[in-house]
Amino acid sequence: MKNAIILHGRPGKAEYYDPTIPSASNAHWFPWLQKQLLVKDIKADTPEVQFAFAPEWKHWVKEVERFQIGPETILVGHSTGGGFWIRYLSDHPDLKVGKVVLVAPYLDVEKESIPQFFDFEIDSNMTARTKGLTVFHSDNDKPEMQSTVKLLRKKLKNFEYREFHNYGHFTLKDMKTNEFPELLKECLK
C-alpha cells in the first residue's frame, strides 16, 4: 500500500508552547499536502515529535517508526525533518523507500545547534534505494540551510535539485500560502 510520512522541522521553544500557534505537524503546508495525498488514495501521516524544539534522535526515530516505511512510502521532510530523513536513510542502508522530497533540509553543518542529532556520515548512494530523491531549496533561505544544501550537493549522488526564488524557509510567512502544488507534483512523480 502506498503511504506518505510528512515530517516537520524544529520549532522554537516559545512557538512550541504557544497555544495560539498550530503544532508543527499542523502548520504551513502540512495539512494541505496531507489532504491532497489522501484524496489520491495515499495514506498520509504527519507525525508530531514531542519536544521537537530540543531534538533527541531516539524520540524522532520512535515517532516515525510507528508508521509503515517501505518501498511504496513517500518521505517528505521540512528543515530538521529533511535532515532527519537523510540520517535515517544513511543509518538504514538496506531500507528501500519510494519518493523522497526534502524541503529546505537542515543538517547543522556548522555543529552549532544540535550537533549530536546529526552525528553521522551521509550515505552518498542513498538515492539508489529510493524512487527518486529531490531537494527543494530557496535562494533566500537562511544561511544554515544554504550550507546544508551545499553539503548535500557535494555528497549525494544522482538526486534532483530544485531551486525556488524568494520562498524563504518554505513557511506560511514566507510563501504567503499554505498550498504547495510544486511539492505535491514532486511527491506524485
User: What does the pLDDT look like over 131-160, one tens digit per residue?
Assistant: 999 999 999 999 999 999 999 999 999 999
Report the CATH number that the domain containing residue 117 is assigned in CATH: 3.40.50.1820
- Taking the whole predicted model, whether its pTM rises above 0.85 is answered as yes
Phi/psi for 164 (5° steps) reads -115, 150
Q: In the predicted model, what is the mean pLDDT of residues 27-35?
A: 98
Listed in order, strand segments (DSSP E) in 124-167 are: 133-138, 160-164
Collect all residues with Cβ–Cβ distance below 8 Å to 62 and sequence separation of at least 6: none
Domain that residue 44 falls in: 3-188
Number of independent structural domains in the chain = 1
